[in-house]
Amino acid sequence: MSDSLFIEIGTHQQQKHGEDCFGDTIYSKKIPEERRIISILSDGLGSGVKANILSSMTTRMAMKFVESNMELLRSSEVMMDALPICQVRKISYATFSIVDSELEGKTRIFEMDNPPHIFIRDGRPLNVKCKELSSPKWKDRTINISQITTQEEDRIILMSDGVTQAGLGNKLYPLGWQRQGCLDFVLKTIKKNPHISAHDLAKAIVHEAIEKEVEKKAGDDISCVVLYFRKPRKLLVLTGPPFDEDKDKEIAELVSYYDGKTAICGGTTANIIERELCLKCEIDKTSFDEKIPMSSIMEGIDLVTEGILTLTEVYRMLKEGIDKDKNNAAVRLTRLLLDSDKIDFVVGTKINIAHQDPNLPMELEIRRNIVKKIFRLLQSQYLKEISVRYV
Amino acid sequence: MEKLTVKICSGTSCFVMGAAQIQALEFTPPEDIADKIEIIEVRCMNHCKDIDATHRRGPFVMVGDELVSEATYEKVVNKIREVLNKDCK
Ligand code: FES
């Protein structure tokens, strides 16, 4: 199991200039029981609220159908029938691209009317064979179905036509950036940075598309999804002293044998590891911050931070976004979490009596609760694989 | 002359009680003591867990081997001057 691939999904969107709401919708879902990931990008007709409704309805419906393995042609007919009809154009319309991927490798891509996906293997584009299907009911629509067994380091890129048509009206790009332009950009970017994360690549593509636009204003909704198949990056987060002191040694051994990165959150926990593994630990003054205690440097450990204040701040940033201009311990820990795919939490359950002092100027969360909130968020919002062990 | 070590606790409870303000000593110490002290940030020294001594509260700072409780920037600076003067005599 541990060797199966991990799929990192990165998305980035920019709404049409002047609109406050996205006309494209992206929706991804993990089905852990089936070891399967589904990701959908839909572009609604027009822009703004109306397009948003069309595309979000499409993604929700498509997700239900794909999830329950319903036959696709039939499903798409149902979807088209269900979409509200545009008053202006008298058609109901939203496009979609769907990637349905099993962690063991089987991946299917369904596309209707979006620019064709880009598949990258070994730094080169790969043309995946595809079948065309069309519905007798909606004759002008065809659905392309491609199937492929994915390998380590493969990437699939989905985009809305806002990407390929970026630059229309700009003399330099009379036909827009086009899929080829985007493909060239992707190849160049991957060549420069072969391990670029899905998130960074999606963002780079959208930014580059905006660069092409007249006055750098998005002429349409621009959306991109990148799926990156790779070996999982593992992280062990150790926080809190074990309830039973006898366990100290065991916990320390976990740290020294772990096959991935390690983070320790909590002063007492750090003391235990320092003592058990005879490691030297020093405060890292470059992480100074008025609100968050500084992190420490311990040999062989990727990050050592204070416990509860740092974790509380990490939770806030996972919800609201990372503080880009800071480099305190909480920012470092958040980055480490976001850069990992599989995170193993080991949570000590001993209560710190000093934290229960009613005279403290603020209430301190109980470690177990804040860790629970963090891993739920990492699971649901960031699609990370999480394990938790209480000791 | 050997420098006087000042250990500032940056454990959770000392930190929320205001240890961060004392850390300013590290970056902008008063001139008269600047090169006579060495600041060390430490993790919890367990004073906060000493429930029998409830009259004493964080933040805790060790100036040499004297413990300053409910420490503030001024309190620590005064303590440092006091200890340095004692050592001179
Ligand atoms: S946190 Fe400072 S002594 Fe415990």
For chain B, which residues make up each domain, given as ranges? 4-88
ipTM confidence score:
0.82
Which of A7, A1, A36, A11 lies closest to A233 in space, CA to CA? A7
**Residue A377 within a domain:** yes
Cβ contact, residue pair B41, A283, below 8 Å: yes
Could you tell me if A219 and A254 lie in one domain? no
Ligand 1 in reach of B68 Cβ (< 6 A): no
Q: Tell me how close the Cα of B82 comes to any Cα of chain A, in angstroms.
A: 27
Peptide bond into A232 cis (omega under 30): no
Residues A356 and A263 in one domain: yes
Rounded Cα–Cα distance for residues A321 and A290 (Å): 19
**Do residues A314 and A321 touch, judged by C-beta distance below 8 A?**
no
Same domain, A72 and A122: yes
Closest CA to A84 of A57, A111, A110, A109: A57
CA of A271 relative to ligand 1 center, distance in Å: 13
Q: Number of folded domains in chain A?
A: 2
CB proximity A306 to B under 8 Å: yes
In our burial notation (b when 16+ CB lie closer than 10 A, e otherwise), range A161-185 reads: bbbbbbbbebeebeebbbbebbeeb
Ligand 1 center to A28 CA (angstroms): 44
Determine the distance separating the centroid of ligand 1 and the alpha carbon of A255, expressed in angstroms.
25
Asked if A240 and A354 sit in the same domain, the reply is yes
Q: How far is A358 from chain B (nearest CA, A)?
A: 11
Interface probe, candidates A281, A357, A367, chain B, greatest B C-beta count within 10 A: A357
> pLDDT by residue for chain A (391 residues), tens digit each?
345 678 889 999 999 999 989 999 999 998 888 889 999 999 988 888 989 998 999 999 999 999 998 887 788 778 777 776 666 666 667 889 999 998 788 899 999 889 999 999 999 999 998 888 877 777 777 888 999 999 999 999 999 999 999 999 888 888 999 999 999 999 999 999 998 989 999 999 999 999 999 999 999 999 999 999 988 899 999 999 999 989 999 999 999 999 999 999 999 999 999 999 999 888 898 998 888 999 999 999 999 999 999 999 999 999 998 888 899 999 999 999 998 989 999 999 988 878 877 777 777 888 889 999 999 999 988 888 899 999 9
Of all atoms in ligand 1, which is nearest to the CA of residue B19? 2
- The nearest alpha carbon in chain A to B26 belongs to A285
Query: Does residue A140 share a domain with residue A268?
Result: no
Distances (CA, A) of B4 to A170, A207, B11, B86: 68, 54, 21, 12
Would residue A1 count as lying in a domain?
Answer: no
> Could you identify the residue written with the tokens 């008063």?
B30
A125 plus A43 within the same structural domain: yes
Inter-residue long-range contacts of B83-86, CB under 8 Å, 24+ positions, other chains counted: B83/B4, B84/B4, B84/B33, B84/B36
Rounded Cα gap, residues A155 and A121, in angstroms: 7
Report the gap between the CA of B78 and the closest CA in chain A (Å): 22
Enclosing domain of residue A259: 234-390
Residue B61 to residue B38: CA distance in whole angstroms? 13
CA atoms of A247 and A346, how far apart (whole Å) = 12
Residue nearest to atom 4 of ligand 1 (CA): B44
Looking at residue B19, what DSSP letter applies?
A: I
Ligand 1 contact via B25 beta carbon (within 6 Å): no
Residues 230-269 of A with CB under 8 A from B: 267-268
Do A201 and A270 lie in one domain? The reply is: no
pTM: 0.70
Fold of B4-88: Glutaredoxin (3.40.30)
DSSP 8-state code for residue B32: H
Residues A188 and A120: beta-carbon distance below 8 Å: no
